[in-house]
A and B are shown apart, each in its own frame.
Chain A
Amino acid sequence: MKRNSPDQNPREDTPQKLLALEEDKVRSLFNPKIWDTKFQEKLKSDIATAKPYNWGTIHQLIDDDLLRAVRKEIETQIHFTKKETDIYKVNQSGDLANLSGLDWDDLSRLPNLYRLREILYSEIYRDVISHVTGTGKLSGTKTDMSINTYTKGCHLLTHDDVIGSRRVSFILYLPDPDHTWKSHYGGGLRLFDSIIPNVPQSDPCAKLVPQFNQIAFFSVQPGFSFHDVEEVKVDKHRLSIQGWYHIPQEGEKGYNPGEEEQWVNNNTSTLAQLESNVLQDYEFPKDERDILPYHEVKHFEKILRNDEKEGSVSVISEENQLSQHELDFLKEYISEQYLTKEGISDLQSKFADDSSLQLESFLNEDKSLLLKELIKREELEKDCPYESKDVAKPWKTAVPSHKWRYLYMDGKSHENFKEDSDILATLNREELPNFELLKQTLPKEQEVEIALIELVQFFKSTIYKKYLTLLTSLCPLSEQFLVRRFRPGKDFTLATKCNLNPLLNQVEGSIDAVLEGTLGLTPSNGWESGEVGGYELYMADEDDEPEQDAQDVKDAAVYRADDSGDSVLINQCANWNTLTLVLRDESVLEFVKYVSWSAKTSRWDIKSQWDVKCVE
């Protein structure tokens, strides 16, 4: 499912509700070292110089007995539900903020958890965090915590935690206290440097391997504090308590009237920025299609109009059926069942009814076998680059990493962005895709890339576009092709809507939708259940309803999901040789779910898009 808008507002406690512990008692429940000035100064300086941004960690923070008791309480008293959206898969508990609102009976069920929350939001401890992070005073009344357990396959993709009045984020880890959590278990907190504000690098530059009773924290820095939770790769529970300290509230020390409002107004989450297209220039590949030459388009128009034939001499006939020459050309790649007159007519009416088509075994057997063998061999015998610096021609890494990450070929020059100037230089020399040129520059050992490029060239042919025109009764106006590879444990796209080309909206008959095709080329099995991700989901945007609050802020770290499944329009698992065609209007969200580390191979596909118009 897609993320949803937040409604879990942090709780504001009235002070008298808290069963205040005495300061000495609070002190005694922390590791005494944290009250030591030398320790604090060392930590402050570590945080100030930390990479990629200011963050810190403390081992053995809490009294061991208390935290073990908390863990026991969580294990025995709290129910977790697995939630999955485009950005995470995690087992969530209810919101901890309601703890103080519980009646005494319920309180007695979780007394240790209650105590933990109280000391974490105590003034003396908040003052330490405020001092070492240099963020200013933190609220003790606006508490904001949740418990999550990451089991095998769980993950949370890159985000910056910016929402509302959050000032400092923290994660207190509670994996099995009697065993060391090892790096290869996954579940690490990974931090990302930024190319420019709001554009994180592809790969993390720091990773914290969480241990029991260790806390990690950082000040929430709009445009900078990008982090993720690495997928847990083994059958273990990585339990953690996640929380935030907010800007002081009215009546608290450090409260400045208007400060919170100003902060919130200045800093929308970067994800919301992504959706508002502020950073569109910094996205690669662009969600844009190149306009087709008119001499090509006019033939499609005539085919659809079907009344005035001039008998123009061209590569395609203007009849609304395939000529022998066209059929022979298409047969080279496409299964014959989809090329018969009846076949095409069935597909036509199905597409008219559903606005989508799923064509299994789309490529013919010869091409399918050949390509599958090549891709399989690539997977089994060659090292796949996992860091963007190692990604070599003709592949490129899709950026920015809080929107999507995958390898792709788009027929344009190779690039490997390291800093701002690289991006600007590319923007300054716009080019059109040229798959033929790309193919010619590849050594013949790159068999799989060459075969995939040839397939794209087939899809770009005028005859294939005539075929597409016949299937959809729509006239293509522009096109884009991407060969994509989603690597296990690495790649995904977040849910986004399609971008219409404003240059085309004046065209007569143009429609507010994009025609999209995905040909699955994943050579392995085990994807059907969706457990290892990699599925492509089309869903109706529930927020699209006009009555919805226009101020909704999308945020990555708000754990709510639409699990009803009502809004799912198409859910297509990674597959071999199924073409999915979808006419996608602006109300439809689409994403490819993060591919789990335990997937057997990458998810491969060819993604195509066309702006289209109706011909009447």
Chain B
Amino acid sequence: MAKRALGLGQKNKEKKRKVDNSNSNNEPNRNSPAPGADQIQVEMDENADLDDELTQLKGLWNNYFHSDRESEYVLNGIIHECDRLLRQSDSDEKTKKLLNDEFYAIYALALSELTIFKTEQEGEDVSQYFDQALEWAEIGMEKTSKDSQLLQLAVSKIILQRIPLQFISKLTVDSKPEDVNLDLFEQLQRAKKCFNVEKDLELAYEVLQMFDDLLDMLENFGHGNNIDEGLDSDEEDEIEPVKLNKKHPLYRLQKAIPENYAWLKETMVKLFENIEETTLRRNVARTLGHLFLKAAEEPTSVFMQQYDDEDEEEETEDKEVPKEIKQAQKEALSHTRTALDYLEKAQVEDEPETWVEVAEAYIDLGNLHDYQSSEQEKAYKVAEDILKKANRASHGRFQDILDNLLAKDQD
């Protein structure tokens, strides 16, 4: 006779009963991991030599690099494998030959990444991991080539990971010079010097993003709690940077923010020009768009000042526009146009939010043109059309931006 079918709920109860029974019979504990549960799958290139130990290590590293990076377990595996290969190379010439700059870069980067997990664990001193990471990068340069661009880039990344994690996170506005045992300004200069866009472009982009984050952190230093409240795009409150004491460990870094933004923009453009791969190219273009919009912020606010002043004063006809305002307008327009250019390159066909970034840049552009000029009307119109299209594609998600723009038209 056929077995009577049981529904999902009944089946579940039956299975639970079976497990309970087997547990009471001193069967293996349910909590012990199933065989193979601690294995991970690594995707390799089609042409990869799967027996090659370095190829395997690279596969494992790539797997981590492209994952959500939540597995300390995988990182530890990589580091153990590096240790093992090093030991093996002492007695085995073949292995010794395998250990090229890529090997040392993986070792150094993995050690540096490990700090992300170590900061969460009490009593862990992350400095030793960073020191070791830098040391292995340097040993790698000695053993392979002093000019290894990959190892230089790795050094750049380790420093940029170290400054916020080991230092800034522990500093307050009142910190003293002795709270930091490294010259952070010099460290950042070294990171910049080591940076290059010669070999691993994906890693290079990650390093520049970390640089960008660092500048952002420096700008907002001392404002931690306000950010937690959740700032929203429609807030126009500008946060004034906290002025630091000249002896503060971050003083020089904070002073150098503008020049570092300039370096970042310039370097990011170089990176962009070297990329052919579509997704990475789009991501870099988007970041560049944001950087140029940011560069436009200051001249924009100088230019906008005249309208604020007009509100306060009596309106005077045909008032001469001061030269510095015209200059600011020119500068802001130029940055915004460049930003627009990059944001257009960053658009994705089925991601309306990428179109909206373009629309918002058009609104910025419109704001910068003379009031009610044909250029202004044109820029607003383009923005309006994009927003309408994006709204349709995204269940009205951008309605407030559109409403704002239309209200502007009616002013």
Contact = CB atoms under 8 A, between A and B. Distances in A.
Interface of A: 151-152, 176, 179, 182, 184-185, 234-237, 352, 354-356, 376, 379-384, 386, 472-474, 487-489, 511-513, 524, 538, 540-541, 544, 569-570, 582-588, 597-598, 600, 602, 612, 614-616
Interface in B205-247: 229-232, 234-235
A381 B230 contact: no
Contact of A588 (B9, B234, B350, B399): B9
A352 B3 contact: yes
Nearest to B4: A614
Nearest to A509: B4
B183 to A, nearest CB: 36
Contacts of B11: 354-355
A511 B230 contact: no
Interface stretch (B111-119, B123-131, B388-396): B388-396
Contact of A379 (B4, B13, B231, B393): B393
A538 B8 contact: yes
Interface string B335-379: 000000000000000111000000000000000000000000000
A197 B3 CA distance: 47
Contacts of B352: 380
Contact of A382 (B10, B235, B392, B394): B392
Q: Which of A179, A182, A381, A600 has the most CB of B within 10 A?
A: A600
Contacts of B232: 185, 234-236
A176 B234 contact: no
Contacts of B321: none
Given A234-B232, A356-B8, A584-B9, A184 B399 contact: yes
A615 B2 contact: yes
B34 interface: no
Contact of A182 (B9, B10, B234): B234
A600 B394 contact: yes
B392 A235 contact: no
Contact of B12 (A182, A513, A569, A614): A569
Interface of B is mostly: loop
Nearest to B7: A585
B395 A583 contact: no
Interface string B1-24: 111111111111100000000000
B70 interface: no
B193 interface: no
B69 interface: no
B8 A583 contact: yes
B7 A237 contact: no
Contacts of A513: 5-8, 10
A598 B399 CA distance: 14
Given A234-B232, A380-B352, A540 B7 contact: no
A585 B8 contact: yes
B400 interface: yes
Nearest to B234: A182
A511 B4 contact: yes
B217 to A, nearest CB: 18
Contact of A585 (B1, B6, B394, B397): B6
A487 B5 contact: no
B8 A386 contact: no
A182 B6 CA distance: 52
Given A182-B234, A513-B5, A585 B10 contact: yes
B360 to A, nearest CB: 15
A355 B6 contact: yes
A487 B395 contact: yes
Nearest to B390: A380
B231 to A, nearest CB: 7
Contacts of B230: 151-152, 234-237
Nearest to B352: A380
Contacts of B229: 176, 236-237
Interface residues of B, number: 30
A406 to B, nearest CB: 14
A378 to B, nearest CB: 10
Contacts of A176: 229
Nearest to A356: B8
Contacts of B12: 540, 569
B392 A616 contact: no
A386 B231 CA distance: 28
Contact of A587 (B7, B234, B235, B394): B7
Contacts of A356: 8
A237 B235 CA distance: 15
B2 A512 contact: no
Contacts of A586: 7, 9
A340 to B, nearest CB: 24
Given A585-B8, A587-B9, A588-B9, 10 more contacts: A152-B230, A184-B399, A234-B232, A235-B232, A236-B232, A379-B393, A569-B12, A585-B9, A587-B13, A597-B395
Given A235-B231, A236-B232, A488 B7 contact: no
A511 B394 contact: no
Contacts of B351: 600
B396 A386 contact: yes
Contact of B395 (A489, A544, A614): A489
A173 to B, nearest CB: 16
10 contacts: A182-B234, A235-B231, A354-B8, A381-B392, A381-B393, A511-B7, A513-B6, A583-B8, A587-B10, A614-B4
Contacts of A512: 7
Nearest to A488: B395
10 closest Cβ pairs, A-B complex: A585-B7, A513-B7, A587-B9, A184-B400, A235-B230, A588-B9, A380-B393, A355-B11, A236-B230, A355-B8
Contacts of B400: 182, 184
Given A234-B230, A236-B232, A540-B12, A588 B395 contact: no
B5 A541 contact: no
A473 B3 CA distance: 10
B292 to A, nearest CB: 24
Contacts of A379: 393
Interface string B311-338: 0000000000000000000000000000
A598 B394 CA distance: 9
A404 B234 CA distance: 33
Contacts of A583: 5-8
Contacts of A614: 2, 4-5
A536 to B, nearest CB: 13
B134 to A, nearest CB: 35
A376 B350 contact: yes
Nearest to B392: A383
A544 B10 CA distance: 11
A474 B395 contact: no
Nearest to A524: B350
Nearest to B8: A355
A464 to B, nearest CB: 20
Q: Which of B235, B352, B396 has the most CB of A within 10 A?
A: B396
A232 to B, nearest CB: 10
Contacts of B10: 355, 513, 585, 587
A354 B393 CA distance: 40
A489 B352 CA distance: 17
Contacts of A179: 235
A237 B350 CA distance: 30
Q: Which of A237, A352, A355 has the most CB of B within 10 A?
A: A355
A511 B5 CA distance: 7
B69 to A, nearest CB: 15
A597 B397 contact: yes
A209 to B, nearest CB: 13
Q: Which of B3, B5, B11, B350 has the most CB of A within 10 A?
A: B5
Interface string B160-185: 00000000000000000000000000
Nearest to A523: B350
B196 to A, nearest CB: 34
A584 B395 contact: no
Nearest to B2: A616
A384 B7 contact: no
B362 to A, nearest CB: 20
